[in-house]
Amino acid sequence: MNLKYRVFLVVVLIVKQSDTFPDNSIYIHEPKVRVGRVQNFKNWSPDLVPNLDTTSLGLEYFCSEGDDLWASSDTDLIALGRREIDAIGLVRAEKVVDGCVVRVPKAYPV
C-alpha cells in the first residue's frame, strides 16, 4: 500500500499578554497568511503556561514533509509566526517573547 502522509507543524509563540482570544482554537481563512489554525493552549488549561501573565499560542501550518515550510529553520518559522499573528490581528508582533517549533512527521495519513 502506498499511503501518503501530511505532517504536523506547529509554531508555538509565547506572548506577553494574559488574554488573546476566548476560544480554544480558531481556523484562519485569510489568503495573505499561511497559518491554518491557531490553538490557544492557555484556554485548554492554565497549567500549560508557566506564567499567567503570558499566553501560549500554537500556530498550525498545513504542509508536507520536504516542502518549503517543513524545510525552514526554526528561527525562520518563529519569525513567520510573529509576522502572521500580527497580520491577522490577534497579537502584535512585539508581544511575542519566545517561541519554538514542533514537527511531527507522518501525522495524518491521506
Which DSSP string do the residues of 33-90 spell out, in sequence order?
----EEEEHHHH-GGGSS-TT-EEEEEEEEE-TTSHHHHS-HHHHHHHHHHHHHHTTS
CATH code for the structural domain at 5-109: 3.90.660.20
C-alpha cell at 69: 515550510
DSSP secondary structure code for residue 99 in this structure:
E
Give the pLDDT score at 85. Answer: 97
**Mean per-residue pLDDT for 85-110?**
94
- What radius of gyration, in Å, describes the C-alpha atoms of the chain? 14
Inform me whether the pLDDT recorded for 1 exceeds 80: no
Give the pLDDT score at 10. Answer: 97
Delimit the domains of the chain by residue range.
5-109
**pLDDT tens, 57-88?**
999 999 998 999 999 999 999 999 999 999 99
Inform me whether the pLDDT recorded for 44 exceeds 70: yes
